[in-house]
């Protein structure tokens, strides 16, 4: 099972992750990511995550982590390579 975490100290509360996540937003029945009343990004329903890593890739503050991704079977290449963070905006 995938585990999603938002590092509150890094998050700039821009909402890009909520808007870009295919499993979140206004049209989602049970969104993975939501904006709280305080404006902070929260993980609402981690079980709905499909592991596309869109939130991680587009997070301008590198504040979202996803763990628990199964290892590739039969020597297949890693589908979701990690990217180094050179700076935080």
Q: Domain ranges in the chain? A: 3-75
For the segment 24-46, what is each residue's pLDDT rounded down to a tens digit? 977 788 899 999 888 889 999 98
Burial 43-55 (b: 16+ CB within 10 A, else e): bbbeebbeeebbb
What's the CATH number for 3-75?
3.30.70.20
Q: Which residue has the higher pLDDT, 89 or 62?
A: 62
The pTM of this model reads 0.70
The closest of 26, 39, 28, 32 to 64, measured between CA atoms, is 32
């Amino acid at each position: 099972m995938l585990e999603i975490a938002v590092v509150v100290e890094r998050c700039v509360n821009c909402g890009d992750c909520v808007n870009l996540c295919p499993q979140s937003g206004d049209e989602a029945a049970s969104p993975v990511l939501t904006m709280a009343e305080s404006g902070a990004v929260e993980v609402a329903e981690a079980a709905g995550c499909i592991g596309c890593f869109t939130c991680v890739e587009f997070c301008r503050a590198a504040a979202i982590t996803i763990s628990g991704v199964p290892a590739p079977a039969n020597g297949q290449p890693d589908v979701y390579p990690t990217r180094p963070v050179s700076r935080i905006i």
